[in-house]
Structure 1
Amino acid sequence: MKKLLLAAFAMLCILPASVVAQGVLDQVNDPFFGESCTSIMVGKKASTDGSVITSHTCDGRYRTWLEVEKGQKFKNDTTMEVYKGSLKTETAWDRRKMNVVGSIPQAKETYAYLNTAYPCLNEKQLAIGETTIVGPKELVNEKGMFLIEELERIALQRCTTARDAITLIGKLIKEYGYGDWGECITIADKHEVWQMEIFGEGPDNIGGVWAAQRIPDDHVGVSANISRIGKIEKKNKDYFMFSDNVFSVAKNLKRWDGKEEFKFWKAYGKVEKPFKIREFIILNALAPSLKLDFEADELPFSVKPDQKVSVRDVIALYRETYEGTEYDMTQNLKVVKKKYNDKKEEIGADTIIAPNAHPWPTRDHRNLRNYLKEGTIEYQRTVAVAWCSYSHIIQLRDWLPDEIGGRAWFSFDNPGQSPRVPIYSGTTKLPESFNFCGQKRYREDAAIWQYRKANKLATLQWQKTRKGMMEEVAYFEDKGFSDAEYFEAKIKKLLEEGKKEEATTLLNKFTKDFTGATMLRWKELENEYWGRFGLGF
């Protein structure tokens, strides 16, 4: 995989990516703004083991608390409340700046789901990734009831398949209105994965417009904060779903003249072309034989990979920072290291990357370096970023019971540094520290800080700490996959014997124990780095 990534970079001329946070219109074209996400999708015939994969990096200062919401049964004629403002709360019981904006009829029964800032996985192996794709301001109607995170929550509570989720979301948007900026959600089930892009239809209309395109089973796709759906094949219902107003709204708002070929991204995306650097890097890395052109007007919506893709390949892509390539932000940060013989006599010197150079420089760091020498650091929007709240890569496997078929490889903080913890569809209880968000302030009880402290300290001497930290990441990755093989067989046997309660207890302990082991090791790394750097050396 690394060789494929390097081959992809050799063909590039990088441009900074424009990234946006919801509601921050004046920063739409600021390539340094931090709130953005990346989602990679893999069809079941494109993966090495037959699993369907979707994924998500929650890049920005979003909440990092998470919990498993239990499934429930309700009486007839009950309602559920719909919220705005849940993305940046500090705990599940924090209601500051959260508002009830309406209610809808409650389902008779709901499924348990993993409640992350952008809800991501339910007990029936339905999973969702997300990336904000913004679009033009004229499409936004803040009076619409639903933000994207609430639509994800309701879909996971009520649906078992991607197509059902898309249909439900479309109905909710039409009836109650979409009040968010442009969003993409990558919806997967045990058999297929879809990319759904949603926009408002302007301040005078309460509904919204949307289109969804299926990733072919033998293909991979990527969404990275830019609309990508192009021509909609109206008769191909196996690969396309769309709102009944998708063409008329474009005409009414003069975003399409009705004559030229209709392309969704062109009508609604407010972009010159439907890809930038992350999409190109990932697609080209996985299918180098296509010789994709970064200067092209359009890339394929999805590609058939040259080699089948494992979930570990996807995990590796999420660590990518372009180190060792011409786009490496550390390449000009060099020092001279003198060499001495046994008599301590100088016998030469080497020019090396500075020990404190790392691929996540802050804006102040870049400004200082570029003031001292213009062009020292050219900003690149990497896949792994230091401002990541959390990330997950979710596998869905139809040959296993739902309790263990859905598996989220979850990490807090920078995905280029942190280990990943397995959380299953059948998990019902998470470690206590997962209840607290660490984004508003330093909290010793918040899980993210158990990793963030060592991660940040490591960047003080990244060229010296990287090898050791990556060895720890690799150790826990190897351990996670090897332990899971034995563990899943044990859970499957318990389920076959009707011992579901015992199986659930073990599932909860597995995630708790694995989390505890990673936290303990990252605490040891933190102590090691303090001992190494605390005296100023």
Structure 2
Amino acid sequence: MQKHSACSSIMVGKKAAMDGSTYIARNEDNYVAIYPKKFYVEPAVSGQDKTYKSFYNDLTEKLPANGYRYTTSPDANTIEGLYEEDGINEKDVAMSATESVYGNEKVLGYDPLVPEGVAEDSITTLVLPYVDSARAGVKRLGELIAKYGSAESNGVQFSDHDEIWYMEIATGHQWVAIRIPDDCYAFAANQIGIEEIDFSNSDNYMWSDGIREFVEEHDLNPDEGKFNFRHIFGTDTKTDHHYNTPRVWFAQKYLNPSTKQDPESPELPFLRKPEHKISVEDIQYVLKSHYNETQFDPLGSGSEDDKKRYRSISLSRTANSHILQLKNDKLSVEWKCFGIPSFTPFVPFFTNANDTDETYRDISDSMNLKDAYWIYEALSMVVETHYAEFIEEDLDYQKELSQWAREKVDTVEDESKSLSGTELIGYLTKQNHEIATYYNDKAKALLGKLVTEGAELSKLTFKMDPNL
């Protein structure tokens, strides 16, 4: 069973982005609300003689001798696997793995998943340190699947400064990948989304060897004259209509507000040109969203049936939300959000560095307010517990930090232009520590303030009548 199988992903091409960056982003969701995560820098390796073995399913692979430095977000407790999830390497290649998807019973009947094959716990570890472009990431993962098979159906995002690729693995050995057009965005939500594949266009599409023959041999294509990956390999069930497609609908409703669509439609387009250029704040809004200002908002004023009708994008089960931004000036930023994204900020970290901060690097398995993960989990719980009373104060806090982040990132960009090599790495590492400290202090200050205010909201209170 996939342990991390309830995510939401968004990709934004450089011409669709307001600042010309490429963006890939995802909420890593789990089955439980508390799932501690770390965030640190894994150093480069040279001449290693090492064999990787998965804690999850014993997959074993001899690793390349040399590997690039990269940021990583593994589980704090690795007993079930590393689950490194996302990061940016020193060649400015970004990766987020995975968006759990599901192949249908027809295709899985002819090419079942391979339990001991490549799974989410291993994908980032086996790919990100060893690739120098997004396209190379797809190629390496495809080679691993050809060699070992896939244990799960997954969507995987790759990006560099020029390209974004989204790869969907549907069965034990069959997959496709599409280059997201520069002027488009795409949103994925636990359902196969990629539509038509142009096999004459290898610049913008990649696929597993023999996929067309596989489909033809087993009479799997429901369409005449086209190869629609979603129609052939995907699902269209009641669960999809309530758990998956509404999230796509809301993201597209926000970025294409004039387009009227059905939240349960199985034909929502995968690729969209936004009606306005997309900012990093827009991506944050989507990842923080819970059907805001609709009748489906679980925290809103709709009917109880409507509030429970659809699964929202932001959840209490979101262990790690991240936005991987590759900027045109080669200064890459990983925006990291712990806690419930609706209530906590995205913290910018520069990835051309050799450390994040100890409050992100060393995480306890249980509550410890020295750790970033636990600070933001505590803040999330306090805000939601008294949502009506605390949400405006929390939103003001997030807005203030968003403004501060803009100013800070801009300042660091200017000051780093004259730096290079180890001097630049040292400077950006120092900034990461300063940024983490600033955000942690602001979060703890708000947490203390809300706990103090919340004490006055207790129902266990009594006002004495002076006439008694």
Shift of 1:298: 1.4
Is 1:123–2:118 an aligned residue pair? no
Q: Taking structure 2 as the reference length, what is the TM-score of the superposition?
A: 0.86
Deviation digits for residues 494-524 of structure 1 (CA, Å, limit 9, x no counterpart): 11xxxx3232222122122211122122212
Q: Which AA in structure 2 matches 1:407?
A: V
Is 1:132–2:100 an aligned residue pair? yes
Select which of 418, 438, 442 maps to 1:493: 418
Select which of 186, 200, 214 maps to 1:249: 214
Shift of 1:183: 0.4
Shift of 1:377: 4.3
Select which of 109, 112, 118 maps to 2:69: 112
Select which of 274, 291, 295 maps to 1:326: 295
For residues 91-102 of structure 1, what are the structure 2 equivalents within 5 Å?
A: 100-102=58-60
Answer yes or no: is the 8 Å Cα contact 1:113–1:119 preserved in 2.
no
d(CA) in 2 for partners of 1:526 and 1:232?
Answer: 50
Q: Which AA in structure 2 matches 1:271?
A: D
d(CA) in 1 for partners of 2:218 and 2:374?
Answer: 47
Answer yes or no: is the 8 Å Cα contact 2:295–2:307 preserved in 1.
no
For residues 420-499 of structure 1, what are the structure 2 equivalents within 5 Å?
A: 420-437=346-363, 441-495=366-420
Answer yes or no: is the 8 Å Cα contact 1:251–1:257 preserved in 2.
no
Answer yes or no: is the 8 Å Cα contact 1:220–1:304 preserved in 2.
yes
Shift of 1:79: 4.2
Shift of 1:174: 0.6
Q: Which residue of 2 aligns with 1:41?
A: 11
Q: Which residue of 2 aligns with 1:411?
A: 337
Shift of 1:193: 0.8
d(CA) in 1 for partners of 2:287 and 2:175?
Answer: 28
- Would the alpha carbon gap of residues 121 and 259 (structure 1) be closer, same or farther in structure 2, given more than 3 Å must change? same
- Would the alpha carbon gap of residues 46 and 375 (structure 1) be closer, same or farther in structure 2, given more than 3 Å must change? closer
Q: Which AA in structure 2 matches 1:114?
A: T
Answer yes or no: is the 8 Å Cα contact 1:417–1:470 preserved in 2.
yes
Select which of 231, 241, 246 maps to 1:277: 246
Answer yes or no: is the 8 Å Cα contact 1:119–1:149 preserved in 2.
no
Select which of 438, 447, 455 maps to 1:526: 447
Answer yes or no: is the 8 Å Cα contact 1:430–1:508 preserved in 2.
yes
Is 1:22–2:29 an aligned residue pair? no
Answer yes or no: is the 8 Å Cα contact 1:436–1:447 preserved in 2.
no
Answer yes or no: is the 8 Å Cα contact 1:81–1:100 preserved in 2.
no
Q: Which residue of 1 aligns with 2:159?
A: 188
Query: Partner of 1:409: helix, strand, or coil?
Result: strand
d(CA) in 2 for partners of 1:56 and 1:376?
Answer: 25
Q: Which residue of 2 aligns with 1:299?
A: 268
Query: Partner of 1:494: helix, strand, or coil?
Result: coil
- Would the alpha carbon gap of residues 218 and 521 (structure 1) be closer, same or farther in structure 2, given more than 3 Å must change? same
d(CA) in 1 for partners of 2:264 and 2:27?
Answer: 26
Answer yes or no: is the 8 Å Cα contact 2:7–2:27 preserved in 1.
yes
Deviation digits for residues 261-310 of structure 1 (CA, Å, limit 9, x no counterpart): 43222222233589601112212321234444546541222111111111
**Which deviates further from its counterpart, 167-176 or 248-257?**
248-257
Shift of 1:177: 2.3
Query: Partner of 1:45: helix, strand, or coil?
Result: coil
Query: Partner of 1:480: helix, strand, or coil?
Result: helix
Answer yes or no: is the 8 Å Cα contact 1:64–1:436 preserved in 2.
no
Answer yes or no: is the 8 Å Cα contact 1:22–1:134 preserved in 2.
no
Q: Which residue of 2 aligns with 1:381?
A: 311
d(CA) in 1 for partners of 2:209 and 2:347?
Answer: 41
Cα RMSD (Å): 2.6
Answer yes or no: is the 8 Å Cα contact 1:84–1:147 preserved in 2.
no
Deviation digits for residues 360-382 of structure 1 (CA, Å, limit 9, x no counterpart): xxxxxxxxxx9xxx748434322
Query: Partner of 2:319: helix, strand, or coil?
Result: strand
Shift of 1:259: 6.1
Shift of 1:248: 3.3
d(CA) in 2 for partners of 1:244 and 1:378?
Answer: 43
Q: Which AA in structure 2 matches 1:463?
A: A
d(CA) in 1 for partners of 2:117 and 2:301?
Answer: 49
Q: Which residue of 1 aligns with 2:466?
A: none
Query: Partner of 1:448: helix, strand, or coil?
Result: helix
Deviation digits for residues 7-58 of structure 1 (CA, Å, limit 9, x no counterpart): xxxxxxxxxxxxxx716xxxxxxxxxx9511111111111111111110111
Q: Which AA in structure 1 matches 2:188?
A: S
For residues 177-256 of structure 1, what are the structure 2 equivalents within 5 Å?
A: 177-179=149-151, 181-201=152-172, 208-251=173-216, 255-256=220-221
d(CA) in 2 for partners of 1:233 and 1:428?
Answer: 41
Select which of 26, 29, 45 maps to 1:72: 45
Answer yes or no: is the 8 Å Cα contact 2:54–2:121 preserved in 1.
no
Deviation digits for residues 37-91 of structure 1 (CA, Å, limit 9, x no counterpart): 111111111111111111011112454012211111116xx34313143xxxxxx
Q: Which AA in structure 2 matches 1:54?
A: I
- Would the alpha carbon gap of residues 145 and 296 (structure 1) be closer, same or farther in structure 2, given more than 3 Å must change? closer
Q: Which AA in structure 2 matches 1:324?
A: E
Answer yes or no: is the 8 Å Cα contact 1:418–1:473 preserved in 2.
yes
Uncovered stretches (5+) of structure 1, i.e. residues with no partner:
1-20, 24-33, 86-98, 202-207, 334-369
Shift of 1:329: 2.5
d(CA) in 2 for partners of 1:294 and 1:331?
Answer: 18
Q: Percent identity?
A: 24
d(CA) in 1 for partners of 2:258 and 2:14?
Answer: 21
Pair member with larger Rg: 1
- Would the alpha carbon gap of residues 238 and 70 (structure 1) be closer, same or farther in structure 2, given more than 3 Å must change? same
Q: Which AA in structure 1 matches 2:148?
A: Y
Answer yes or no: is the 8 Å Cα contact 1:135–1:270 preserved in 2.
yes
d(CA) in 2 for partners of 1:461 and 1:377?
Answer: 18
d(CA) in 2 for partners of 1:271 and 1:70?
Answer: 43
What is the number of residues matched between the two proteins?
A: 436
d(CA) in 2 for partners of 1:461 and 1:489?
Answer: 41
Q: Which residue of 2 aligns with 1:92?
A: none
- Would the alpha carbon gap of residues 238 and 523 (structure 1) be closer, same or farther in structure 2, given more than 3 Å must change? same
Shift of 1:161: 1.1
